[in-house]
Amino acid sequence: MKTLLLYATKSGAARECAELLAKELTDCTVCDLRHAIPNPELFDTIIVGSGIRFAKIYKPAAKFIQQYKNVLLTKSVSFYFCNCETETFQNAVEKNIPKELLMHADCIKSFGGKMPFKKAQNMNWLKTENKDAFLKAVLPDKEKIKLNFKRLTSAEDAMYPAAMALYAMSFPAHEQREEASQKKILECSQYHFDLIYDGNDFAGVILYWETENFIYVEHFCINPKMRNRRYGQRALEWLGKKEKTIILEIDPPSDDISIHRKSFYERCGFKENAFSHVHPPYHKGNTGHELVIMSSPGTLSPEDYESFHSYLNHTVMNGLFPADMP
């Protein structure tokens, strides 16, 4: 993965941090924003660093962010700031970074700072813990994350309550299965209720149906305490190793959250499909809800969509309500 690391500085702090970060990143191009820079569209990851004065980031960084906002929304992007006064950090972030980018960014950290034109020895102003957390979030090395997956086949599993608590908080009620239905489908051979772990840490769940020709991801969520560490991206990469078409649904992109979600899946290689699609209701008395079909590695043919739609209605949603179950 190619990384573009850009900085704007007056005291030299942002430059020193850029040089420090570059030592940990492979295939990284470092540029001073006061000078000409390469085309950002040619890079997978973009990191922007800047000093802060009077709650404002330096002009070259602010200009770049505004000019390339739409490009940044299609990339893995992170920001670091060098500021002497920690109370100015959050204020500067909110004033200078567009809301869409705040939601989209993998990581935003304050590295500390020094006064402009003042010499500081050995970077003793650097907040090392913030720098380390930043690197953990942006490093593309898969070795930094050791994901493993555990399939649940029974509601008696000790992790089932924690998994369902995450599920309940991650989706609106009308998009959730009823409890009896969720327990029942654990017995289905094609249904996978997989827990996602980073080492021993519970990172999320991915609930999907696997057929001979495609995989349908019904629900997928990451523990809020462990977001912005690329667990979602890594989980989808793992699923992609099965070398089958992957299908999932998202809300129509109409607000910051839904737009951000669509952008995430596009960065993971998913394509939007133009089919008019309504997901059947999960609860009696409800109507279906319109969703957008996303698929990877490419879009679906009309025949592929009809096959999926039939499977959704006759297998995934079969026996949905407790009264219908044997």
pLDDT tens digits, one per residue of 140-180: 554 456 789 999 999 999 999 999 999 999 999 999 999 99
Task: Return the CA Rg of the chain.
Answer: 23
**Contact between 293 and 247 (Cβ < 8 Å):** yes
Same-domain status, 93 and 50: yes
Task: Indicate if the pLDDT at residue 117 is higher than 60.
Answer: no
Same-domain status, 59 and 151: no
Closest CA to 220 of 242, 254, 246: 246
Same-domain status, 293 and 217: yes
- For residue 290, what pLDDT is reported? 94
Query: The domain that contains 77 carries what CATH number?
Result: 3.40.50.360
CA distance 193 to 200: 18
Q: Is 303 exposed, middle or buried (0-12, 13-18, 19+ CB in 10 A)?
A: exposed
- For residue 120, what pLDDT is reported? 47
Q: Which residues form the domain of 68?
A: 1-136
Task: Indicate if the pLDDT at residue 121 is higher than 60.
Answer: no
CA distance 89 to 55: 7
- For residue 24, what pLDDT is reported? 79
On average, the pLDDT of the chain sits at 87
- Count of structural domains, the chain: 2
Closest CA to 50 of 36, 62, 40, 41: 62
CA distance 56 to 95: 8
322 occurs within a structural domain: no
Tokens linked to 29: 């191009």
Same-domain status, 14 and 108: yes
pLDDT tens digits, one per residue of 222-263: 998 887 677 888 899 999 999 999 999 999 988 888 888 898
318 occurs within a structural domain: no
- For residue 284, what pLDDT is reported? 87
More confident residue, 100 or 130: 100
**Contact between 82 and 13 (Cβ < 8 Å):** yes
Half-sphere exposure of 37 (CA within 13 A, CB side): 26
pTM, to two decimals: 0.62
Identity at 255, one-letter amino acid code: D
Domain boundary among 136, 157, 190: 136
Helices (H), the chain: 13-22, 59-67, 69-72, 87-96, 99-104, 128-138, 160-170, 179-185, 231-240, 256-267, 302-311
Task: Indicate if the pLDDT at residue 122 is higher than 60.
Answer: no
Percent of the chain whose pLDDT exceeds 90: 52
- What's the DSSP call for residue 47? E
CA distances from 158 to 152, 153, 201, 204 (A): 10, 12, 15, 15
**Contact between 292 and 249 (Cβ < 8 Å):** yes
Query: The domain that contains 227 carries what CATH number?
Result: 3.40.630.30
Domain boundary among 93, 115, 136: 136
Same-domain status, 292 and 225: yes
Task: Indicate if the pLDDT at residue 32 is higher than 50.
Answer: yes
pLDDT tens digits, one per residue of 70-91: 999 888 899 998 875 666 778 8
- For residue 139, what pLDDT is reported? 66
CA distance 248 to 130: 35
Q: Is 310 exposed, middle or buried (0-12, 13-18, 19+ CB in 10 A)?
A: exposed
pLDDT tens digits, one per residue of 61-72: 999 999 999 999
Same-domain status, 37 and 183: no
Same-domain status, 129 and 221: no
- What's the DSSP call for residue 287? P
Residue with tokens 């977001």: 227
Same-domain status, 296 and 164: yes
